[in-house]
Structure 1
Amino acid sequence: MWLRLLIILNFSFLIFNCHSYGQRPIGIAFYDVDRIYDTVPALFYDDADYTPEGRLHWTAERYARKIRNTAAVIDSMALPLVALWGVENEQVVRDIAAACRGDYSYLHRTLNSLDGMDFALLYYGDLFYPTRDEPGRRYLYVEGELGRDTVGLALCGDARMAQWVVRDLRAERPHVKLIVLGRSDLPDPGRWGLRDATRRAEQAGRGTVRRGGRWQMRDRILADTALTTSEGDVFARRYLVDQKSGNPLTTYSRGVYRGGYGYSLPVFIYIR
């Protein structure tokens, strides 16, 4: 039932923004793609499970299917900026971008994490022009020109780290309109000139991951109060969710290959 409602809400957000802005709205999404490794063993971290001989029997065919599934979700969203969390390297990002129908440019940075997981940003070069980036521990900051605004996208994979990232960015880049995407734990976003754009969706019972038979909003979007935005929401489609259990169709379930999309649903927002 809530999936059908979400489809209606997603369309309503688009109409609302078109009337409010008098121009095409710009959508931004955050998508935890659920660990996309290539099949080649890494030198500096342990990815042995994600190899053809590994515990998960991660073959070229399974990798190719994961790339197609991820690109299909991105194509369904049809948004000009999509932040990705959980890609192993630039080759993975390049394969995703090539599989998408949209003409995406991409930015990828290596985080030197213990599990090899990185962030990447897919974007339309005619709408967003990156001018600065800073990778860190479980975060990637990308600053660029979006229309007349200088916007900073803080992509976070660690909820506690997000507090330090926001604090430092507000001190060092006070002129930048900030958008925090991913895992964040800011008890008082308003203190930093932000609002939790996904709060209303969470209160309505929607979320990005399923735990104990309930949806939880693990990934969020915090938007600068200086920006005109829609309410953020979860991107849900029927094909992403098991209709019997109500859980996302995962790539693996308890070590068994299922061939699905991932355990997490994307979140999105429209800005002016």
Structure 2
Amino acid sequence: MGLLSRNTNFMKKYLYCIGLLFITLPLFAQHKLGVYAVGFYNLENLFDTKDDEGIADEDFTPTGAYNWTPEKYRQKLAKLSLVISRLAREYCPGGPAVLGVGEVENRGVLEDLVKTGEIAKIGYEIVHYDSPDRRGIDVALLYNPKLFRLTSSRVYPYRLPTDSTFKTRDQLLVSGILAGEAFHVIVNHWPSRWGDKSSPLREYAATITRHIVDSLYRIDPNAKIVIMGDFNDDPDDKSCREVLNARKKQSQVEAGGLYNATWALWDKGIGSLCYQDQWNLFDQQILSYGLLGKDYSTLKFWKVEIFNRDFLIQKEGKYKGYPFRTFSGSTFQNGYSDHFPSLVYLVKEIQ
């Protein structure tokens, strides 16, 4: 055999081994590192079937525009439970340690959800506060008490200085212990888009989030914080890029700063929802400085993903290729949500 042939065979074997290493590295890492998933999922109008006074929920009643019957409600719960039961299982057999959720009507729908299907086995507990949103939709947090120990929670209301009548979702701060360390989650659902005039509303929401972050940093400059939610803006929009000052690259983040883990996905054309054939990445994951770096003796960021599995994608009709939603107009599709979930994975050396 000639020298060229021997070198060619060597390179083939070398490249095969390198490729095998990259495939198995995450699995190998799990023997040395504990992996913890933190996620967010906009549940797309998880309403019960009752008409509650003071809330614009009439459409989600049996006689309303969506003909929202108990059977449809049960099907919706089953669909959402299926998705949540599959989140993060590739790396975390117990699923997400904490899961922020949006577009939920009240605590009751969450109590129904955590008792449904496969996730009933997890035993998720709930952090929820009613917000003044006109539609009655709130943010909340589900957490696995085997992985996350709750220590405190509170909400920060959205009070627009220029318009005291404007009502929207509160921001939820949940603090606890994850992997033996103090850990904070801020769950958001910023004001919706309605033309060019709505961006200042989200920029004001970003000032509230930034205030929460700075308050935590004053207590602990190395605070471990994940900011998650439906921002109704993309990573490069002013609210996230300038007001929050969530940076695109880890190398750009200094003490007291923030890293937008989902920005790299956005640059690759990956979105979490689609509107008028345009993808957006509203369901973001933003991390504090304390979660960055390679010292895995303490909890650190590993990777991020948009959970856009094939079963969550509409296969036909007007919304073909979009997230498989519950309704097309007022027609029941028996889908999941018009958003994909987002996830970050954190790791820590096993002692």
Q: Report if TM-score (shorter chain) is over 0.5.
A: yes
Aligned residues: 261
Q: Is the 8 A contact 1:105 1:122 kept in 2?
A: yes
Task: Determine if the alignment matches structure 1 residue 252 to structure 2 residue 316.
Answer: no
Task: Determine if the alignment matches structure 1 residue 43 to structure 2 residue 60.
Answer: no
Question: Which residue matches 1:129?
Answer: 149
Distance 2:77 2:85 in 1: 12
What is the deviation of 1:20? 7.6
Query: 1:205 and 1:144, CA in 2 relative to 1: closer, same or farther beyond 3 A?
Result: same
Provide Cα deviations, 1:142-195, integer angstroms capped at 9, x if missing partner.
111112321111111014354223321233221132110013432121475211
Question: Which residue matches 1:270?
Answer: 345
Q: Is the 8 A contact 2:186 2:226 kept in 1?
A: yes
Question: Which residue matches 1:114?
Answer: 134
- Aligned counterpart for 2:65 among listed residues 55, 75, 78: 55
Distance 1:45 1:69 in 2: 25
The AA in structure 1 aligned to 2:338 is Y
Question: Which residue matches 1:154?
Answer: 186
Q: Which structure would you say has the larger RCO, counting Cα contacts within 8 Å and 6 or more residues apart?
A: 1
Q: Is the 8 A contact 2:314 2:325 kept in 1?
A: no
In structure 1, the gaps of 5 or more residues are 1-11
The AA in structure 2 aligned to 1:31 is Y
Distance 1:201 1:35 in 2: 26
Q: What is the TM-score normalised by the length of structure 2?
A: 0.70
Q: Which runs of 4+ in 1 moved over 4 A?
A: 12-15
Trace 1:3-14 onto structure 2 (pairs within 5 A). none
Trace 1:70-89 onto structure 2 (pairs within 5 A). 70-77=80-87, 78-89=95-106
Task: Determine if the alignment matches structure 1 residue 91 to structure 2 residue 123.
Answer: no
Distance 2:129 2:186 in 1: 13
Distance 2:188 2:28 in 1: 29
The AA in structure 1 aligned to 2:51 is P
2:54 alignment partner, SS class: coil
What is the deviation of 1:214? 3.5
- Aligned counterpart for 2:227 among listed residues 177, 180, 194: 180
Query: 1:214 and 1:231, CA in 2 relative to 1: closer, same or farther beyond 3 A?
Result: farther
In structure 2, the gaps of 5 or more residues are 1-21, 88-94, 159-168, 191-201, 232-238, 247-252, 292-299
Q: State percent identity of aligned pairs.
A: 23
Provide Cα deviations, 1:8-39, integer angstroms capped at 9, x if missing partner.
xxxx8995386289232110110000011100
Query: 1:122 and 1:229, CA in 2 relative to 1: closer, same or farther beyond 3 A?
Result: same
Q: Is the 8 A contact 2:141 2:187 kept in 1?
A: no
Distance 2:287 2:212 in 1: 14
Q: Is the 8 A contact 2:150 2:176 kept in 1?
A: yes
